[in-house]
Amino acid sequence: IVISGKRLIVGINGVKTSDDWRVLGTKITTKLKAIKVKSATINVPKKCQAFVEGLQLGDYEFTYKSEKKKSTLKTINLVSKSNISKTVNKAITAANAQCLTRDWVNTTPEDANSDTIERAVRKMFKGTDIVVDVYGEKELKKLNMNGHLAVNRASRHKAKTIKLTYTPKNFKKHIVAVGKGLTYDSGGLSIKPGNHMTTMKSDKAGAMTVWGLMKYLSKNGSKNKVTVYMGIAENMIDGSAYKPDDVLTMKNGKTVHVKNTDAEGRLVLFDNLCLAQDENKKIDALYSLATLTGAEVYQFGEEAAGLVGFNDKMKKVIQKAGDKAGEIFMDAAFHKYMMDAVDDDLADLSNTGTPNMGCQKAGLFLTKAITKKNKKKFTHIDIAGPAYTKKAWGYNPVGGTGFGVRTLIELVSM
C-alpha cells in the first residue's frame, strides 16, 4: 500500500483462503478510515475479486445518528501487472449489491414499508433490463393468496408481491428465487416477548437479498434468466389481526390451521412459491430465502444458513457456490420420522410443528407448496442466523450483513 508517497508493506502470512482476503480488504479500508487517510494506492494480484469486495464492503456505513461522521477516505487506487478491470468491476458491483441489502435490512420498519420499498425498486430499475411487476392487495386477492394477505391484515401498510425479471437473449436456464419480506414481525397475536421483537426489522432480509441480486444483474448481467419474487407484509396486531385457530385456504387450495401467528413467514412464502410456479412453467432451480426460524439460529449459529429440501445434490451446489463467495451453508437434513411433522388433525397442514428441528419443519411446510415436477428443483435457505448480526465479525459490521447476495450471484452465473 502506498499512502502519501510512503510505501507500507502489509503482512499476509495468515491470509490463505479467498475469504481471508475479503476480511483483509475490509480491515484495510477500516484502518485507512480510522487514521483519516484521503487516498491510497494498493498493488493487487490478478485474482483480486475477494480482496476488492472486502475493500468495498469495509467502506459500508449506516446510521440514524443526527450528526454524521464524514469519512475522509476518497479513493483507493488499484494497480496491477495484470488486466484486472473486469474483476474489479465485478467485485465492486457485487459488494454494492450486498450493501443495498444491508441498507434495507437496517432501515427502520417505518422507513422501509411496502410503499417505500416499491418506490425504491421502481426507481432503481427504471431504464434497465430488469422488468418490475407489482401485485397489490386486489391482485393478491384475485390470486387467492390468502396466507400472504392474512399475515398482513392488521398492518396499516398494504401487502405486496414485487416481481423482478431479467431475461437475457438465448438463455439456457431459468432460475427463480422467492424472498420473505416481513418489514416487521411483532409475532402478531402470538406476540413476541420484547427482547425477541427487537431486531425484527431484519425479517425482510430474504426479500432484500433477492433485490440485491437483481441490482447486480442490472449492472453486470448473466447468461441465465432470473425471476425473483419479494413477498412483502407486516405482522402486526389490531382488531382485524389473523388468529391462532384460523384456517386459511392457500393459493394452491391447501388448508392451513394457524397454531401460532408468529410462524407467519412460511404463510407468505407458501403463497409466493405457488405464484412463482404457476407463472413460470419451466424452472431449473427454485430457491426461497428467509429469516424463517429462531431454530435455525440455535442449530447453525450466527454465521451459517440452513438448507432444506429433497435434493442433496442441489444443496451441495449451493454449498460450493457459498465456498466461492465465502458464505457458509449447512445441511438441515430431513429424516423419515419427520415427514408428518406439519400435518394437522383439522386442516391439511399446521403452520407449526413441535419445536425440535424447527428449521427443517418450517422448510417441510414450504415443500407442501411445491409441485411434484419441481420437488427436486427446490431448496429453501433459512438465513435467520447470518442475515443480521449483533456483533461485528469477519467483514460484517453490526446490523444487516447482506448475507446470501454473493452466493446467489455465483448460483445464477453458473
Minimum distance of ligand BES from residue 296's CB (angstroms): 7
Instruction: Decide which of ligand BES, Zn ion, none touches 93; Cβ closer than 5 to 8 Å per partner kind.
Output: none
DSSP 364-381: HHHHTTS-GGGGGGEEEE
CA distance 231 to 250: 14
Instruction: Output the smallest distance, CB 334 to Zn ion, in A.
Output: 22
What are the Cα distances from residue 62, in Å, to 89, 202, 353, 398?
Answer: 23, 14, 37, 10
Alpha-carbon distance values, 237 to 160, 185, 198, 316, 332 (Å): 18, 10, 16, 40, 32
Secondary-structure percent of the chain, ordered helix, strand, coil, rounded to 5: 40, 20, 40
Question: Which of the listed partners (Zn ion, ligand BES, none) does 260 bind, with a CB threshold of 5 to 8 Å by partner kind?
Answer: ligand BES
- 306 in contact with Zn ion (CB under 5 A): no
Q: Which residues bind ligand BES (CB under 6 A)?
A: 185, 203, 260, 262-265, 291-295, 297, 352, 358, 384
Distance CA 254, CA 248 (A): 8
Please give the size of the binding site for Zn ion, defined by CB under 5 A: 6
What residue type is 7 in one-letter code? R
> How many helices, marked H, and strands, marked E, lie in the chain?
13, 17
**Is 266 known to be catalytic?**
yes
The C-alpha cell that represents 161 in the structure block: 408481491
- Nearest to Zn ion of 130, 178 (CB atom): 178
How far CA 238 is from CA of 97, 186, 189, in Å, comes to 36, 12, 9
Indicate whether 400 belongs to the interface with Zn ion (CB under 5 A).
no
Catalytic residue among 204, 225, 251, 266: 266
Q: Is 185 in the site for Zn ion (CB under 5 A)?
A: yes
203 near Zn ion (CB under 5 A)? yes
352 binds, among Zn ion, ligand BES, none (CB under 5 to 8 A by kind): ligand BES
Q: Does 410 bind Zn ion (CB under 5 A)?
A: no
Annotated active-site residue 153? The verdict is no
User: Please, which residue, 58 or 386, has the CB nearer to ligand BES?
Assistant: 386
Cβ-proximal residue to ligand BES, closest one: 294
Which chain residues interact with Zn ion by CB under 5 A? 182, 185, 203, 262, 264-265
Catalytic residue numbers, as ranges: 192, 266
